[in-house]
Amino acid sequence: MDIGIMLMSDRGPDGQPWDWRKALERWRACGLEKVDLFDRMLTAVGETVPGVQRLLADLGLKPSIYCVPTDLVSPDPAVRKASLDTIRRGIDACGTLGLTQLFSHGGQHNNQGDEALRRYADGLGAAADLAGAAGLTLSIENAGKMCHTDDELLACLRLANRPNLRLTFDGGNFVLAGCDSHRAAERLAPYVVHVHVKAFVSAPDHTPRPFRYCPIGEGIVDYRRIRDTMRQADFDGCMSFEPEGGFDSDWERSLRVLTTIVNEVR
């Protein structure tokens, strides 16, 4: 397994812009090996795919997966077509970076219901076909209002029915969905190609969700247990810390703990 981080924005734990390049350098000293590259973030900061590839190489880091924003659920055919064009751009980026995994996020966050799920499965099937023709695996995560639970994810995989459509497992999002992350890991491990790592602790006074962020190694999700479950299913991908939650998550401490967790099985 590898130690990764999700490079989602150019903002630090206080929510203000910061030097994300210097952050990567600091995170490298915490054990970071690979970086999840988000198309939306690179566009926002004016960075190119070849440019970030050179930056990572200079820092002794590697890309892990390329992430593109899509809405494959929309009832508007033009929106779905634009999302497939975004998938094509992501495929090109993977080719430049030498990656075999493309991650699609969005759409399922604001939609729900059987009809929307069928549209999503159809859209994912078309996207997976494009990715498959380029030799890539396409993954989605548990998030939002649809495909948030292990049951919903399995149903979506069955409906889409593509061999190269797989899962990015988000241990924290299962908590928000009211699921047992450890049970979900046992059910989904055979389909998982990537893992997102974030932690929550119970906070009954919080609304609408009675949880707050906390550092990795604390809280409800036992990532050693998740690691072992994935390993038993022959998972050898990346466990990537998700830098959310501001100072509550203590980003560098979380990354160091994740490094310890991953290195324990090497």
- Residue 171 belongs to domain with CATH number: 3.20.20.150
Give the CA distances from residue 29 to residues 22, 42, 120, 124, 256, in Å, rounded to whole numbers and listed in that order.
11, 23, 40, 37, 9
Are 181 and 174 in contact by the 8 Å Cβ rule? The answer is yes
Residues 6+ apart with CB under 8 A from 65: 36, 37, 99, 101, 102, 103, 139, 168, 194, 238, 240
CB-facing half-sphere around the CA of 70: CA atoms within 13 A = 31
Work out the number of other CB atoms within 10 angstroms of the CB of residue 163: 8
Residues 184 and 227: their CA atoms lie apart, in Å, by 13
Burial 165-189 (b: 16+ CB within 10 A, else e): bbbbbbbbbbbbbebebeebbbebb
Residues 59 and 32: their CA atoms lie apart, in Å, by 10
pLDDT at 209 (0 to 100): 86
Each residue's pLDDT expressed in tens, for the chain with a length of 266 residues: 999 999 999 999 999 999 999 999 999 999 999 999 999 999 999 999 999 999 999 999 999 999 999 999 999 999 999 999 999 999 999 999 999 999 999 877 777 788 889 999 999 999 999 999 999 999 999 998 888 999 999 999 999 999 999 999 999 999 999 999 999 999 999 999 999 999 999 999 988 889 999 999 999 999 999 999 999 999 999 999 999 999 999 999 999 999 999 999 77
Work out the number of other CB atoms within 10 angstroms of the CB of residue 202: 12
Domain residue limits at 79:
2-263
Checking DSSP bridges between strand 211-214 and strand 199-202, what pairing results, if any?
Answer: antiparallel
pLDDT at 223 (0 to 100): 98
Q: Number of H helices and number of E strands within the chain?
A: 10, 10
Cis peptide before 50 (omega within 30 of 0): no
Q: Hey, is 217 helix, strand or coil? A: coil
pLDDT at 109 (0 to 100): 73
Instruction: Say how many domains are in the chain.
Output: 1
Residues 55 and 129: their CA atoms lie apart, in Å, by 31
pLDDT at 164 (0 to 100): 98
Are 33 and 4 in contact by the 8 Å Cβ rule? The answer is yes
